[in-house]
Amino acid sequence: MGLFKNILNKIFRAGANAEAPHDALRPGQSNESRVAAAAQTGVPLGTGGAAQAGTIAAGSVDVAAILDGLAAKHPEKLDWKRSIVDLLKLLGMDSSLGERKELAADLNYTGDTNDSATMNMWLHKEVMRKLAENGGKVPAELMSR
């Protein structure tokens, strides 16, 4: 699941970066106490906190909010809610047919990969379903399109 893992990491990392990192210097906190806290928790400075340390609670990453935020900053108008191509573009990934076929293989697509329209619809739904399985909060309508 190489390409899906890349999608997962990009979305969850964007969510972790949107939150205040646990190791940020807070008012009244010395740099020494920040370093000591990092040493005590075992999470290195600059890693952005618990989400990147592998402690994501189920349903704790609001996928739609993260992607909407990325879309608002993107120079192109991308319809990530309906298009796997636009979702991949939004995440800065290659959206070529070859990459989508590779993603389909990663996710065990059993249909005809030459029928790109059907494959693309399946890919979008499956990616949303897998994001939900891996701790993402995904609106039900995005998993049933």
Q: What is the pLDDT of residues 110-132, one digit of tens each?
A: 999 999 999 999 999 999 999 99
pLDDT at 47: 44
Phi, psi at 2, each rounded to 5°: -60, -50
pLDDT at 55: 41
Q: What is the pLDDT along the chain (145 residues), one digit of tens a residue?
A: 699 999 999 999 876 765 544 445 455 555 555 445 544 444 444 444 444 434 445 457 999 999 999 999 999 999 999 999 999 999 999 999 999 999 999 999 999 999 999 999 999 999 999 999 999 999 999 987 6
CB 23 within 8 A of CB 43: yes
Torsion of CA 20, 22, 25, 31, to 10 degrees: -160
pLDDT at 59: 54
**d(C-alpha 44, C-alpha 30), whole Å:** 17
Domain boundaries, the chain: 2-19+57-143
